[in-house]
Amino acid sequence: MKKIVNLGLGVVFAGVLMGCSGDKNQETTKSNTLKVAFNQSEAHPQYKALKEFGDKLEKETNGQYKLEISPNALLGDQRAATELVQNGVIQMAVVGNPVVENFNKDFAVIGLPYIYDSIDHQKNVFLSGKLDDLFKSVSKNGFEVVGAYTAGARSIYTNKPIEKPEDLKGYKVRVMQSDTMKKMVDLMGGVGTPMAQGEVYTAIQQGVLEGGENNEVTYADLKHYEVAKYFSYTNHLMVPDLIIVNEKVYNGMTKENKEIFDKLVKESVDLEFKAWAENVDVAKKLAVENGAQFINLSIKPFQENVKPLQESVRNSSEVTKKIYDDIRSLAQ
Ligand code: GCU
């Protein structure tokens, strides 16, 4: 298992990185190398999308900008990485929506259970421009959300097949670190247990958790099938992964470079959706070869159970109401 750097170490890292490279927030500094924190491996579709984004960025800005991607949570877990981006120690990261939800609760609406009907529906939403105002709303925290990647559909995996909410009774299921995620698993019948991704394997192995919930790609990449071999298709979440950029770096770009950057983000999102579709089958095959079982089930009871959460998040502000309705209106 990969060791993750906790928040404390992230800060030490910050000092080290700052010491070596000075103020990188000005476009005028020599190389404009944007350091990107990424918590998945080089085989992940988002890595491929970031890599291509970096290559094109370097080319189209005539070498003024390039990306230096650190995969495998080498710069810390997603929360620590967000702090580094805020402080300008690094310039970019890909972080799960729940991380940003901690800065603005309205983000919960785009990561609600069963809000997207399919990956295509989600892609239409991400490329529709309807989330632009929400994304801009967090810039006062020192970072900008410039786009969203898909992370597929998440399902629950444990040491036994799950077919109905009652099967999860007393089951501690790891969730990403947000109240919405915890409430979601509680409503689905289990006990939502927030934790960083890097700690999950050991926690299941040691019986601290009975399982987790994630997409097939991460399930296979992190070998979670070794400790929880039944992957039950609850398909309850399609939570966006957000591309964040240090606010000063982003707004310090010339108009021309910013246009190139924004255009390439869109292209990268498009490419990532395609890469995602290809990777799911590969991940599933690998997991099955290693003993995992994928179980189909009726999602209806789970959908029913999470309705109060959908309602309460939708009605929590005018912004969430509008976005919820926009997202649903884009469903086919
Ligand atoms: C997915 C998602 C990541 C997230 C992870 C998690 O893999 O893409 O952004 O960190 O789930 O469960 O923490």
Q: Which of 197, 201, 224 to mutate to test the pocket of ligand 1 (most atoms within 8 A of CB)?
A: 197
151 in contact with ligand 1, CB cutoff 6 A: yes
pTM over 0.80: yes
Taking only the tens place, the pLDDT of each residue in 233-262 is 999 999 999 999 999 999 999 999 999 999
* pLDDT surpasses 90 at 34: yes
pLDDT at res. 31: 67
Q: What is the average per-residue pLDDT within 45-72?
A: 97
User: pLDDT band for position 225 (50/70/90)?
Assistant: very high
More confident site: 291 or 2? 291
Nearest CA owner, ligand 1 atom 8 = 151
Which whole number is the average pLDDT over 225-240?
98
pLDDT of residue 5: 39
Amino acid at 126: F
203 Cβ below 6 A of ligand 1: no
220-232 average pLDDT score: 97
The pLDDT-based confidence of 332 (bands split at 50, 70, 90) is confident
Q: pLDDT tens digits for 271-320?
A: 999 999 999 999 999 999 999 999 999 999 999 999 999 999 999 999 99
Instruction: Give the max Cα distance, the chain.
Output: 59
Specify the residue with its C-alpha closest to ligand 1, atom 4. 96
Confidence of residue 213 (pLDDT cuts 50, 70, 90): very high
Asked if 109 and 52 touch (Cβ cutoff 8 Å), the reply is no
Q: Is the dihedral of CA 317, 273, 119, 279 positive or negative?
A: negative
Structure-block tokens of residue 62: 């005539």
ipTM over 0.90: yes
The span from the CA of 126 to the CA of 167, in Å, is: 34
Mean pLDDT of all residues in 222-229:
98
**Does ligand 1 come within 6 angstroms of the Cβ of 67?**
no
Nearest CA to ligand 1 atom 7: 218
Share of the chain above pLDDT 70, in %: 91
CA 211 to ligand 1 centroid distance, Å:
15
1 pLDDT above the threshold of 80: no
CA atoms within 13 A on the CB side of 264: 22
**Ligand 1 pocket test: which of 77, 156, 176, 242 has the largest number of ligand atoms within 8 Å of its C-beta?**
176
- From 72, 185, 241, give the residue whose CB has the most ligand 1 atoms within 8 Å, as the site to mutate: 241
Mean pLDDT lowest among 11-15, 39-43, 292-296: 11-15
User: Is the confidence at residue 15, as pLDDT, over 60?
Assistant: no
Please tell me the distance between residue 22's alpha carbon and the centre of ligand 1 in angstroms: 31
Terminal Cα-to-Cα distance of the chain (whole angstroms)? 40
Average pLDDT rounded to a whole number, residues 206-215: 98
22 band by pLDDT with thresholds 50, 70 and 90: very low
Cβ of 241 less than 6 Å from ligand 1 = yes
Tokens of 285: 């095959």
Residue 321 CB-density burial (10 A; 0-12 exposed, 13-18 middle, 19+ buried): middle
Pair 242, 265: CB distance under 8 Å: no
Average model confidence (pLDDT) across the chain = 92
The residue whose C-alpha atom lies closest to atom 10 belonging to ligand 1 is 96
Contact 111, 148 (CB under 8 A): no
The three-state (H, E, C) secondary structure of the chain, written as one string? CCCCCCHHHHHHHHHHHHHHHCCCCCCCCCCCEEEEECCCCCCCHHHHHHHHHHHHHHHHCCCCCEEEEECCCCCCCHHHHHHHHHHCCCCEEEEEHHHHHCCCHHHHHHHCCCCCCCHHHHHHHHCCCCCHHHHHCCHHHCEEEEEEECCCCEEEEECCCCCCHHHHCCCEEEECCCHHHHHHHHHHCCEEEECCHHHHHHHHHCCCCCEEEECHHHHHHCCHHHCCCEEEEEEEECCCEEEEEEHHHHHCCCHHHHHHHHHHHHHHHHHHHHHHHHHHHHHHHHHHHCCCEEECCCCHHHHHHCHHHHHHHHCCCHHHHHHHHHHHHCCC
Give every strand in the sheet of 191-194, ordered side by side: 191-194, 172-175, 211-214, 154-158, 230-237, 293-295
87, 110, 75, 93: which is closest to 4 by C-alpha?
Answer: 75
Protein residue whose Cα sits closest to atom 6 of ligand 1: 197
**Sheet of strand 66-70, all strands in order from the earlier edge strand to the far edge:** 66-70, 33-37, 92-96, 241-246, 143-149
Please give the pLDDT value at position 65: 97
**pLDDT at residue 4 is higher than 50:** no
* pLDDT tens string 117-159: 999 999 999 999 999 999 999 999 999 999 999 999 999 999 9
CB 77 within 8 A of CB 198: yes
Q: Which domains does the chain have, with CATH numbers?
A: 7-150+240-279 (3.40.190.170), 154-238+282-329 (3.40.190.170)
